[in-house]
Amino acid sequence: MKHYFNQFTKLYCLVLALLCSYGLKAQEADNVFNLDAQLMTRGELRAGGFKADSLDIERVSHFALGRYRIIADYQRSWLNVRLTPQYTGVWGQGSAGVVLYEGWAKMQSKKGLFVKIGRQELTYDDGRIIGNDDWTMTAPTHDVLKLGYDGESHKVHLLAAYNQNAENIDNGVIYYSGGLQPYKTMQTLWYHYDTPKKSFGISLLGMNIGMQNTDQEHPITYYQQLVGTYMSFRPKHWSLEGAFYYQMGKEEHGMNIDAFMASAKLNVKPSVNYILFAGYDYLSGDKYFNVPPDGGIGLVFHDKARGFNAIFGSHHEFYGAMDFFYLSNYVGGFTPGLQNLYFGGNIKPVSGLSINAAYHYYAIATDLDYVNTKTLGHSVELVSSYAFNKAVSVSAGYTFMKGSETMELLNKVSEKRQLHWAWLMMTITPKLFTSTWQDKN
């Protein structure tokens, strides 16, 4: 591990030297400072849908959530620095959830080379594998070094992260669960190409992720890899997106991984105010509960984990608004995969108003001997949003889901209850202060 750290340090110094050689120090321009705020408040009502130890327990909940950020951003021609403290919590919560959501500096040259270091959002392609998952109040960020090149048609990014709970302890080996990120180490290479008119784009992604087991006395970091591609074809009135990713290596208990996912989505835009869409997601799954290599009492042993794990993805955006799948696992961490067939549309009847409706059909991806059907259930989702101006918007949503016996068995959610979820959210993003000045000679 020390070898990898030294190599990344050398790479960082090399790219920094290249930036300077391409005129980073020579670029001078106005200095711009912006101070913005983001206040997001959401009230939710859930009637059913929560996992329970007993299906006889009535699972109804009403609560309000808040997320409040101050965004301080400084820019000049070759430098961008941002600091974003964040508070998140349930209304009335005793303990304050205050963190530094962003804290990064980016240095860039006119030739497209850049270095970005610090705590930052990561979002690539459609956000399915690496996304900011902005719906969740906490939203993930990463302590990472990003090196890259952003050109007109070609983009290349290299990411590197190495996480610890404290400095200078046990040679930096131990990384207890519950940290900011779920991984110990991460290295990612992303390449993207767009045609000159942006009608076709393709991305290639490769990741190496070190996940640590939970044994604090004998910690071991196991490495898993993900490779895949995302493509989009965007003519004038319609678009087609597709993706395929394959996972291999070992999960955090040392079990071999053999998993994949595939997705396709068609968007048809007959006019500027109407969009129709349909898509299908397939995520591979397991037939049995995962058992570590040393076995387990009463469980079937198998030597491969076939449940696909989109670790950094924006799950809420893709697999249903109720977040039954992949935002939280099935009971006991069992993942029999997912098939998600959906269609819907979006309409903008007047300026500032958007109405979205979608239907989802859910099914497991594997053949299980002890269930009568692969079907998990059906859901109907309605979402509407209205922007009063650039700073204030309000949105509301309602989801109805009907589960099957398979859903009840795997997720401990009764299909006999009609599962309802409604929410109302206000987002306020005012610009508090802005200033521009020039360097003195």
What is the structure's pLDDT at 54? 45
pLDDT of residue 416: 54
Looking up tokens 């610009």 gives 431
Of 61-70, 107-116, 345-354, 400-409, least confident by mean pLDDT is 400-409
Structure tokens at 97: 């959830």
Share of the chain above pLDDT 70, in %: 79
DSSP labels for 108-144? Answer: E-TTSEEEEEEEE----TTSSSB---TTSSS---EEE
Give the span between the Cα atoms of 310 and 81, in whole angstroms. 30
Of 27-36, 167-176, 318-327, which gets the smallest average pLDDT? 167-176
Angle at 248 between CA 154 and CA 363, to 5 degrees: 95
Looking at the predicted structure, is the pLDDT value of residue 271 above 60? yes
Within a domain: residue 169? no
For the cut 50, the answer to whether the pLDDT of residue 295 exceeds it is no
When pLDDT is averaged across residues 294-319 and rounded to a whole number, the result is 74
Full DSSP string of 311-331 = TBS-HHHHS-TT--SSSS-SG
Instruction: Read off the pLDDT of residues 127-158 as tens digits, 9 standing for 90 and up.
Output: 999 998 888 888 889 999 999 999 999 999 99
Averaged pLDDT of the chain: 84
Burial of 280: CB neighbours in 10 Å, binned 0-12, 13-18, 19+ = middle
Q: Which residue has the higher pLDDT, 80 or 414?
A: 80
With respect to residue 63, please indicate whether it lies within any of the assigned structural domains: yes
Residue 195 lies in a domain: yes
CB 120 within 8 A of CB 144: yes
Q: Which residues contact 209 (CB under 8 A, 6 or more apart)?
A: 183, 185, 186, 223, 224, 225, 226, 311
Residue 4 in any domain: the answer is no
Q: Is residue 285 part of a domain?
A: yes
Q: Please determine, for residue 23, whether its predicted confidence score (pLDDT) is greater than 60.
A: no
**Over 90: is that where the pLDDT of 203 sits?**
yes
* Torsion sign across C-alpha atoms 4, 8, 10, 11: positive
- Asked whether the predicted pLDDT for residue 16 surpasses 60, the reply is no
CA dihedral 127, 129, 130, 131 (to 10 degrees): 40
Mean pLDDT of 8-19: 55
Alpha-carbon separation of residue 70 from 66, 84, 123 (angstroms): 14, 6, 21
Tell me the per-residue pLDDT of 329-372, one tens digit each, with 9 for 90 and over: 565 567 889 999 999 999 999 999 999 999 999 999 998 887 88
Which amino acid is present at 432? L
Domain range for 367: 44-162+182-210+222-437
Question: Which pLDDT score is estimated for 407?
Answer: 83
**pLDDT at res. 439:** 81
Please compute the mean of the pLDDT values over residues 273-277 and round it to a whole number. 95
pLDDT of residue 191: 98
Of 215-219, 371-375, 429-433, which gets the smallest average pLDDT?
215-219
Q: Is the pLDDT of residue 38 over 60?
A: yes
The number of folded domains in the chain is: 1
* CATH classification of the domain holding 227: 2.40.160.100
Domain membership flag for residue 56:
yes
175 within domain boundaries: no
Is 13 within a domain? no
